[in-house]
Structure 1
Amino acid sequence: MQGTVDGFSYGLVTPVAAYLMACLGGALGLRCTTRSVRTGGSFKPGWLALGATSIGSGIWTMHFIAMMGFTVAESPISYDRPTTFASLGVAVVMTGIGIFIVGYRGATRMALVTGGTITGLGIASMHYLGMAGMRLQGRLEYDTLTVALSVVIAVVAATTALWAAVSVHGFMASLGASLVMGIAVSGMHYTGMAAVSVHLHGDVPPGMAGDSPATLIAPMLIGPAVFLVMAGVVVMFDPLLVMGDPDRQQPDARRGAAGRRARPVLPGQRQAPSYGEPANWSAPSRSGRRAAHRSRHR
């Protein structure tokens, strides 16, 4: 018996909220990764780890906010907590591997392909491991081609996000990249959900309506949501984001000062008087200096 599946039981509320969480996690992760590229020494791993946790938490939170709207009319749904939180760990760890590869190797083709593939497979693994934690009176079945398409979308989205993290440095450009990343991650999620069908084991006994998915999932989202807010506070109060990059301004000033100090004087060109010299002073020509030298030795 096939179950009646509804992925939008709350209308547009859950897709929009899920998209915003994906954008938030992506924006924080991109800013942290960009910050790590400009930072050396002991702070670089910290920024990369914060970026990986932000992206992983944002994607995981997006997934389960979207799952609040997933219902099967003939069967109540519950979630296995260990499996659900294991999917969060997979998202953070595999995203972290990809970010550390790009963060230390740069935007080379091999680093982007390797890091993007690992991160994309981590996103897809998080999605389907989270689905494996679902408990209902039946089993989930998947369309193979649609699943493969969702994995491809995840890998492409992850590779694009990693490229933007090390190549896009402006705040508005990073914001635009995070919006595109939110679309890609949400598209991967709903493509994966389009592959799902539910085969029920039999009729559900009366009185087994159970709790709503929102009631079951909401408590599990508190921790990652609080983390994303705290990460946002750290990023927003970072001096590099608020005041700009002083390292890029200082070399320009040094080059300007050096240029003023090292300006050569061409032969026959009048040299500007130095401090303490009269305004009508002019440097003697080379022939004048030779005549003065001969007169002193006579």
Structure 2
Amino acid sequence: MQGTVDGFSYGMVTPLTAYVMACLGAALGLRCVTRSLGNDRSWKPGWLALGAASIGCGIWTMHFIAMIGFQVEESRIRYDVGLTILSLAVAIAVVALGVFAVGYRGGNTTTLIIAGAFTGLGVAAMHYIGMAAIRLNGRLQYDVGTVALSVVIAIVAATAALWAAVAIRGFLTSLGASLVMGVAVSGMHYTGMAAVSVHLHGATGTPGDGGSAYSLLLPMLIGPVLFLLLAGVVVMFDPMLVLGDSDRNRATIRGRTVAQSAERPARPGALFEAPSATERRTYESGAPARRGW
């Protein structure tokens, strides 16, 4: 017997909230990678790790917020805690491998293709490990073609994210890239969900109320959401992540100019140069002189 699947039981609330979390994770991750590449004196491993964790948490949080809206009318849904946690670890680990690859090897075509493919497969693995954590009165079945399409979307999205991390520098352009990445990640998720059908065990099951799913998912979502908020605070209070390239370059040039002026010795005989016309008028008017003559 086929179950009645509803992926939008709360309307557009869960898809929009999930999209926002995916965009937040992508935006924080891109800015952290930019920070590691834009300043040789920065602690690169730390910024890359923070970026990978932000993107991974954003993807995982997006998935399980969207899953709150997933219900099967004929059966209650529960989640295996171990597999749910494993899916989070996989998300962060595979994104970290891709981020560290482009962070240290650069954004050449070969690195992007290999790292993007590996990361995309890892993101897809996170999605389907999360789906394997579902416990209900039946079994999940997948359409192979739609699953393959979701994997392709994941690979393209991961490759685009890694390219944006090394190629985009400005704050507004990073923000735009994160919005696009949110669309790609959400598209991958709902494409994968379109492949799902439920075959029930027996003619009847326990009516689904979603209560047990909420009791697990909501507390587990608190940690990654708080992490993303704290990562956002770190980004907000780092001026090099907030400033655009033009502002950063002007600040760098201004700092170098001031340093060079401080180190440049005064010209011999500068104190004995003839006063300018302005200084002469100031002296004749009785105002305090600046050269001391």
TM range (shorter): 0.7 to 0.9
Rate the CA distance shift 1:7–1:247 in 2: closer, same or farther, 3 A. Answer: closer
Residue identity opposite 2:112 in structure 1 = L
Equivalent position SS for 2:234: helix
Query: Equivalent residue for 1:289?
Result: none
CA contact (8 A) 1:69 1:213 kept: no
TM-score (norm 2): 0.84
Pairwise mapping of residues 1-298 of structure 1 onto structure 2 (< 5 A)?
Answer: 1-40=1-40, 43-205=43-205, 211=211, 213-243=213-243, 248-249=249-250, 252=253
For 2:205 and 2:75, the matched residues in 1 are separated by 9
How far 1:241 moved relative to its partner? 2.5
CA contact (8 A) 2:138 2:198 kept: yes
How far 1:41 moved relative to its partner? 5.4
Query: Equivalent residue for 2:280?
Result: none
For 2:136 and 2:33, the matched residues in 1 are separated by 40
How far 1:98 moved relative to its partner? 0.2
CA contact (8 A) 1:64 1:217 kept: yes
For 2:43 and 2:253, the matched residues in 1 are separated by 25
Rate the CA distance shift 1:148–1:206 in 2: closer, same or farther, 3 A. Answer: closer
How far 1:275 moved relative to its partner? 8.6
How far 1:203 moved relative to its partner? 3.2
CA contact (8 A) 1:28 1:232 kept: yes
Equivalent position SS for 1:141: strand
Which moved further from structure 2: 112-121 or 126-135?
A: 112-121
For 2:226 and 2:16, the matched residues in 1 are separated by 19
| 1:135-176 deviation per Cα after TM superposition (whole angstroms, max 9, x unaligned) | 001100000010000000000011111111111111100000
Equivalent position SS for 2:76: coil
| 1:121-147 deviation per Cα after TM superposition (whole angstroms, max 9, x unaligned) | 111000000000000011000000100
Aligned length in residues: 264
| 1:102-123 deviation per Cα after TM superposition (whole angstroms, max 9, x unaligned) | 0111110011111111111111
Rate the CA distance shift 1:205–1:143 in 2: closer, same or farther, 3 A. Answer: closer
How far 1:34 moved relative to its partner? 0.6
Which moved further from structure 2: 203-212 or 150-159?
A: 203-212
CA contact (8 A) 2:87 2:129 kept: yes
Equivalent position SS for 2:110: helix
CA contact (8 A) 2:75 2:207 kept: no
CA contact (8 A) 2:5 2:71 kept: yes
Identity of aligned residues (%): 64
How far 1:209 moved relative to its partner? 5.1
Larger Cα Rg: Structure 1 or Structure 2?
1
For 2:78 and 2:12, the matched residues in 1 are separated by 22
| 1:241-275 deviation per Cα after TM superposition (whole angstroms, max 9, x unaligned) | 345568733664569x99xxxxxxxxxxxxxxx99
For 2:153 and 2:211, the matched residues in 1 are separated by 33
CA contact (8 A) 2:171 2:242 kept: no
Rate the CA distance shift 1:188–1:244 in 2: closer, same or farther, 3 A. Answer: closer
For 1:46 and 1:206, the matched residues in 2 are separated by 48
Query: Which segments of structure 1 move beyond 4 Å, counting only runs of 4 or more?
Result: 205-210, 243-247, 250-255, 274-279
For 2:75 and 2:207, the matched residues in 1 are separated by 11
For 1:57 and 1:154, the matched residues in 2 are separated by 16
CA contact (8 A) 2:53 2:96 kept: yes
TM-score (norm 1): 0.82
